[in-house]
Amino acid sequence: METGKANLEVMADTLMALAEHDRDLLVVTSDSRGSGKLVPFANAFPDQVVEVGIAEQNLVGIAAGLASTGKKVFAVSPACFLTARSLEQIKNDVAYSDQPVTVVGISAGVSYGSLGTTHHSLHDYAVMRTINNIDVLAPADNFETAEAIKAAYTLRRPVYVRFGKQAMPHLYGPGATFEVGKANVLSQGADVTFVATGETVPRAVQAAAVLEGEGLSCGVISVHTLKPFDAEAVLDAAENTRALITVEEHSIFGGLGEACASALMQSGVRVPFKIVGLPDDHTVTGSQNEIFTHYGISADGLANTARQLLQVGITA
């Protein structure tokens, strides 16, 4: 897979392209212009950036206030602080008050790896999914990122978008489509299907390639929208494959895996099933790749999980 830019860079590029034609587009940030790749945006559109300093709760309140006047606001801050310290403001000022703010959580998951668990955001899918009136997006590559930002700009409703820091492989070719609430099927497989989201999707694609080399038929689904959730895509995969594995850079509680499990149980569909994510653990410290490898979110780890699950399916 050819590697592109970090999704954050694509986010910033997309916002710049939109801002060139819309002076009402504003970025509100909490000392995150550098980490959010927003320095070029701030230099090009200094009157369209609001810097609040390290004050995430104020950031969300100010963003909601600006949105109430008709501005198209993107509130950018590290996900670990934004969806914990500012959760009440997201719930009340944005979602409950129905203000069309796009809340952008940057350096999400274990992107801050070596800084430890205080800087990890492994809870955000869970908490954001339980708040009424806010969509939850987690783009996997540069294409999904650009489309997610354009969709959030157009939707004019509360949206949470989550990004990591790494340069991402290109997963799509010409003619690809993106729709909020509609998962993208990257490939179909009769033996095992990986249902993944965000920066774990390329790992699932790599694992599928390993297993294909062993003669197995593998599918990969990119769930770029956690809410509204595309249960239909998951149920279709479950009915046409021997095993289903979910993959996420998030706690195994309350995220993609449990959303899929709920859809399967409530529909009465039975299939060998495994949730791969971060366990109820004092998360190890290291780079994102090191943490992924430790918890089996790697090509080899996911391929091994698939082999084990298929054995269960054979003997059950």
- Do 87 and 134 contact (CB within 8 A), yes or no? no
Positive or negative, the Cα torsion across 209, 214, 217, 218? negative
- On whether both 19 and 140 belong to a single domain, the answer is yes
Where does a domain end: 142, 169, 196?
169
**Do 33 and 154 reside in the same domain of the chain?**
yes
Residue 176: inside a domain, yes or no? no
Tell me what pLDDT residue 51 has: 94
Per the CB < 8 A criterion, the answer to whether 109 and 166 are in contact is no
Asked whether residue 178 is assigned to any structural domain, the reply reads no
Strand partners, 164: none
Of 107, 139, 169, the residue that ends a domain is 169
Specify the CATH number for the domain of residue 156: 3.40.50.970
**The predicted structure's pLDDT at residue 36:** 72
CB neighbours of residue 131 within 10 Å:
19
Residue 174 maps to a domain: no
- 22: part of which helix (H) or strand (E)? none
Residues 133, 234, single domain; the answer is no
**pTM, rounded to two decimals:** 0.95
Query: Is there a domain that residue 108 lies in?
Result: yes
- Interacting residues of 203 by C-beta distance below 8 A, sequence separation 6+: 196, 247, 292, 297, 298, 299, 302
C-beta atoms surrounding 181 within 10 Å: 14
Q: Which of 169, 197, 226 delimits the end of a domain?
A: 169
Would residue 177 count as lying in a domain? Answer: no
Half-sphere exposure of 119 (CA within 13 A, CB side): 17
Same structural domain for residues 10 and 98?
yes
Question: Residues 94, 23: one domain?
Answer: yes
Name the 3-class secondary structure at 180. coil
Q: Which of 186, 198, 194, 188 is nearest to 162 (CA)?
A: 198
Q: What is the CATH number of the domain that holds 280?
A: 3.40.50.920
Same domain, yes or no: 267 and 302: yes
- Do 163 and 204 reside in the same domain of the chain? no
- Do 49 and 15 touch, CB atoms closer than 8 A? no
Q: What residue numbers bound the domain in which 105 lies?
A: 3-169
Please tell me the distance from the alpha carbon of residue 238 to that of residue 243, in angstroms, as a whole number.
7
**Same domain (yes/no): 148, 213:** no
Q: What is the pLDDT of residue 253?
A: 97
What's the pLDDT at 113? Answer: 85
Residue 175 counted as domain residue: no
Q: Do residues 144 and 15 both lie within one domain? A: yes
* 144, 193: one domain: no
Assess if residue 206 is contained within a domain: yes
Whether 224 contacts 184, CB under 8 Å:
yes
CA distance 305 to 276: 9
How many domains would you assign to the chain? 2
User: Looking at residue 284, what DSSP letter applies?
Assistant: P
Domain co-membership, 292 together with 200: yes
Please report the pLDDT score of residue 139 as a whole number: 98
Six-digit token pair at 85? 């310290």
Q: What is the pLDDT of residue 301?
A: 98
**Do both 48 and 164 map to the same domain?**
yes
DSSP symbols for 156-171: -S-EEEE--SSEEE--
Specify if 242 maps to a domain: yes
Show pLDDT as tens, one digit a residue, over the chain (316 residues): 788 999 999 999 999 999 999 999 999 999 887 777 889 999 999 999 999 999 999 999 999 999 999 999 999 999 999 999 999 999 999 999 999 999 999 999 999 888 888 889 999 999 999 999 999 999 999 999 999 999 999 999 999 999 999 999 999 999 999 999 999 999 999 999 999 999 999 999 999 999 999 999 999 999 999 999 999 999 999 999 999 999 999 999 999 999 999 999 999 999 999 999 999 988 899 999 999 999 999 999 999 999 999 996 554 3
